[in-house]
Amino acid sequence: MSGARIIDGKALAAQVQEKVAAAVARLRLEHDLAPGLAVVLVGDDPASRVYVRNKGKRTTEAGMKSFEYRLPADTSEAALLERIRLLNESPDVHGILVQLPLPKQINPARVIDAIDPDKDVDGFHVINAGRLAVGQPGLVPCTPLGCVLLAKQARESLEGLEAVIIGRSNIVGKPLAQLLLKENCTVTIAHSRTRDLPAVARRADVLVAAVGRPELVRGDWIKPGATVIDVGINRVETEGGKAKLVGDVAFEEAKEVAGAITPVPGGVGPMTIAMLLVNTVQAACRQRGIDLPRELADLAGG
């Protein structure tokens, strides 16, 4: 087989964003509810600044309220915790996201712990990780939610499929494993200590790479016809000395073997922000005790 179908994450994210905007318009009209997202950025990491700007832009485009807090790089942990306490108490703020990484004087675990789990739209709080693990309603991390929707673009049903996830982080690999279990996949999580990783990868009908190693996954690691979801975002230098983004999958090789594949950029990345909007609407509805608008019924996790 040659020439995999390219799964267009940008187009899918735009569709999700449209549904969010429609849902928000109805919430404003019928319930006088404008979902609000607060994003806190500490320091001036250039990549984080771009992410925060995009999140704010998408939030307002969807008709929601966006609150941005830019704190200096030398902000103390106590000052950040106080900011989170105020946001937890604010009735206009339904979702709180603290952009990672944080400067080294701040312990990220303590910060995530301080966010009200019902406003934790990143889904990183231990309460939300636990809810996902036992199947209770909660907030689910955005990137894994996006990965599942992308995989469903290629496969009507994921039921019974062999899914292999390379990477076991708390923000991608582990929650994605839970979501794919919920889809009735047979799930394997592979990682840096996995023996014969190429052989494990070749078992996959759905292969997800969430590692952070440029082009680790080669064409001959892929089962013919498999659906490949590439979460990796790696900045590498081209021969001309320019920077470019590549995924964890060697795209040119992989697309000759796979049935469908997400590109980098333009695959998982845009879906992450789209799912953040969905999570914010979900959080707002739960806080007000109203049903999730029907537009978002098939999109929301947990």
Selected range binding ligand NAD among 28-36, 40-48, 152-160, 212-220, rule: CB under 6 A = 212-220
Minimum distance between the CB of residue 168 and ligand NAD, rounded to whole angstroms? 4
User: Which residue number is nearest to ligand NAD in terms of Cβ?
Assistant: 169
Which residues are catalytic, by number? 55, 99, 122
Considering the complex, what minimum distance in angstroms separates the CB of residue 30 from ligand NAD?
32
Site for ligand NAD contains 233 (CB under 6 A) = yes
Stretch that binds ligand NAD, among 14-22, 32-40, 58-66, 232-240 (CB under 6 A): 232-240
- Residue 10 or 288: which CB sits closer to ligand NAD? 10
The answer to whether residue 171 forms part of the interface with ligand NAD (CB under 6 A) is: yes
What mask, x for binding ligand NAD by CB under 6 A, covers residues 253 to 282?
A: ---------------xx--x----------
Query: Minimal distance in Å, beta carbon 111 to ligand NAD?
Result: 16
Residues 195, 15: Cα–Cα separation, whole Å: 40
213/288 with CB nearer ligand NAD: 213
Nearest distance from residue 61's CB to ligand NAD, in Å? 18
Which residues would be at the binding site for ligand NAD (CB under 6 A)?
143, 166-169, 171-173, 191-192, 197, 210-213, 216, 231-234, 268-269, 272
